[in-house]
């Protein structure tokens, strides 16, 4: 079975990905049949030959989830992060006993929008 998947290339912190058609059981950096384009995560640039890709999909190649996320970012839901906040409650006693403190943990769910360009601001709802 053929898959359209990401093939990592480059150095450790300067990684780029080739979008290729390869056998589903081949290694992630192994042999491939056809080269369709590339993706550079640092600059968020994506170049893809859509005519070749349509032809391979028509012939039975399946698109992996990583490539599908790059092509159709609106298809996948936004991530929800749970942030734990600690509140300190002071309890004073009437007698000359030491002051006790209680720590309560609350989880607050916030939605953060994942942006494609680093220049956009992240919005949060409180």
Q: What is the pLDDT of residue 120?
A: 47
- CATH code of the domain covering residue 64: 3.30.1320.10
Nearest to 118 by CA among 14, 45, 48, 68: 45
Task: Please state whether the predicted TM-score (pTM) of the whole model is above 0.85.
Answer: no
Which structural domain range is residue 50 located in? 2-75
| Residue 40 maps to a domain | yes
| Residue 107 maps to a domain | no
Q: Give the DSSP per-residue string, 58-114.
A: HTTPEEPHHHHHHH-GGGSPPPEEEEEEEEEEEE--SSSPPPEEEEEEEEEEEE-PP
| Residue 115 maps to a domain | no
Catalogue the E-assigned strands of 1-69: 2-10, 15-23, 34-40, 45-48, 62-63
| Residue 6 maps to a domain | yes
Domains of the chain: total: 1
Main-chain dihedrals φ then ψ at residue 58, nearest 5 degrees: -65, -35
Tens digit of each residue's pLDDT (9 = 90 or more) over 26-69: 887 788 899 999 999 999 999 999 999 999 999 999 999 999 99
Tens digit of each residue's pLDDT (9 = 90 or more) over 79-122: 787 777 666 665 555 665 555 555 555 555 655 555 554 544 54
């Amino acid at each position: 079975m053929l898959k359209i998947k990401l093939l990592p290339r480059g150095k450790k912190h300067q990684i780029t990905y080739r979008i290729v058609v390869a056998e589903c059981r081949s290694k992630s950096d192994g042999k491939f049949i056809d080269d369709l384009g590339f993706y550079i995560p640092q600059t968020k640039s994506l170049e893809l030959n859509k005519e070749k890709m349509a032809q391979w999909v028509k012939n039975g190649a399946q698109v992996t989830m990583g490539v599908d996320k790059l092509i159709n970012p609106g298809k996948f839901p936004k991530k929800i992060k749970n942030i734990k906040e600690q509140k300190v409650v002071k309890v004073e006693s009437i007698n000359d006993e030491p002051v006790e403190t209680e720590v309560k943990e609350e989880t607050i769910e916030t939605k953060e929008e994942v942006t494609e360009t680093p220049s956009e601001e992240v919005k949060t709802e409180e």
